[in-house]
Amino acid sequence: MINETLIRVRYAETDQMGVVYHSNYFIWFEIGRTEFFRTLGMEYKELEMREILVPVVDVGCKYKISAKYDDELIIKTRLKELTSVKLKFEYEIVRKKDESLLATGYTIHAFVSKELRPVNFKKKYRDIWDKLDQNIKEE
């Protein structure tokens, strides 16, 4: 499954030239990831209530074309990899009006307890695991 989330570039996200500042792409990845979970019928806070955290352990972004103030953007989010201790999301940021690919990226997350110890997510949270496993995007 590829989840698509629509956002609009705000003035505060740009520099003096109206170009989006690079760190905002990582915020958009988080927005896409949060909405991905919502489409599965769960929220991050549900994971936290079940005492599981999913910190970012690796992240990357390749910039292709600048996003600018007031552009409507589509954040395309897919779950690419899932193991018992981590998951990897991939992202595409696309300008809606001309479907230009602006950036690609990824985030890798560990499954950890509130004490920041690794958790075997597949074993401990099988119900959520099954939802995630059914939505892995293979190429």
Q: Look at the pTM and tell me if it is higher than 0.85.
A: yes
Residue 40 is which amino acid? L
Residues 109-137: pLDDT tens digits? 999 999 999 999 999 888 888 989 988 86
To the query of whether residue 15 is one of the catalytic residues in this protein, the response is yes
Handedness of CA 6, 58, 24, 93 (dihedral sign): negative
Q: Does any domain span residue 120?
A: yes
Domain of residue 28, residue span: 2-132
Residue 78 has what pLDDT?
A: 96
Q: Does any domain span residue 137?
A: no
If one counts the domains in the chain, the total is 1
Residue 138 has what pLDDT?
A: 55
CATH of residue 6: 3.10.129.10
Query: Which member of 15, 70, 130, 133 is catalytic?
Result: 15
The set of residues, in sequence order, having a beta carbon less than 8 Å from that of 45 and lying 6+ positions away, is none
Q: Does any domain span residue 108?
A: yes
Q: Does any domain span residue 60?
A: yes
Q: Does any domain span residue 89?
A: yes
Reading phi first (left if > 0) and then psi (alpha if -120 to 50, else beta), residue 13 is in: alpha
Mean pLDDT of the chain, nearest integer: 93
Q: Does any domain span residue 10?
A: yes
